[in-house]
Amino acid sequence: MNISIVIPLFNEEESLPELVKWLKKIIDQNGYALEAILVDDGSSDSSWQVVEDLSKEYSFVKGIKFQRNYGKSAALNEGFKLAKGEVVITMDADLQDSPDEIPELYRLIKEDNYDLISGWKKKRYDPIMKTIPSKFFNWVTRKMSGIYLHDFNCGLKAYKNKLVKSIEVYGEMHRYIPVIAKKAGFSKIGEKVVQHQERKYGVSKFGLERFINGFLDLLSVLFITRFSKRPMHLFGTIGMLSFLVGGGVSAWIIIEKLYKLAQKTPVRDVVDQPAFYLGLVALIVGVQLFLAGFLAELMSRSSSDRNTYLIEKVI
| Span 116-132, pLDDT tens digits | 999 998 877 666 666 67
Q: Is the pLDDT of residue 145 over 70?
A: yes
Q: Please state, for a pLDDT cut of 70, what percent of the chain lies above it.
A: 83
Confidence grade of residue 304 (pLDDT, cut at 50, 70, 90):
very low
pLDDT at 125: 65
Boundaries of every domain in the chain: 3-228, 231-302
pLDDT at residue 207 is higher than 60: no
Over range 10-14, report the average pLDDT. 93
DSSP annotation of 97 reads B
Whether the Cβ atoms of residue 48 and residue 315 lie closer than 8 Å to each other: no
What's the whole-number mean pLDDT along residues 26-36?
95
Would you state the torsion angle of the CA atoms of residues 68, 53, 92, 162, taken in this order, to the nearest 10 degrees?
90
CA distances from 283 to 141, 186, 277 (A): 34, 41, 10
Alpha-carbon gap, residue 138 to 135, rounded angstroms: 5
Q: Can you say how many angstroms the Cα of residue 155 is from the centroid of all Cα atoms in its chain? A: 12
From CA 239, how far away is CA 245, in angstroms rounded? Answer: 10
Its pTM stands at 0.73
pLDDT top residue among 256 and 6:
6
CATH number of 3-228: 3.90.550.10
For residue 59, what pLDDT is reported? 95
Considering only 29-38, 203-212, 213-222, 273-282, which range has the smallest mean pLDDT?
A: 203-212
Length of the chain: 315
At 113 the pLDDT is 95
Cα dihedral across residues 10, 13, 14, 18: positive or negative = positive
Strands 87-90 and 3-9: parallel
How far, in Å, CA of 199 to CA of 94, rounded?
Answer: 7
Question: Among 220-229, 241-250, 273-282, which is the least confidently predicted range?
Answer: 220-229
Residues linked to residue 189 through DSSP beta bridges, in sequence order: 116
Q: Which among 78, 27, 69, 71 is positioned nearest to 48, based on CA atoms?
A: 69
Looking at the predicted structure, is the pLDDT value of residue 43 above 80?
yes
User: Phi/psi at 227 (nearest 5 deg)?
Assistant: -125, 0
Q: What is the DSSP letter of 301?
A: H
C-alpha 133/C-alpha 136 separation (Å) is: 5
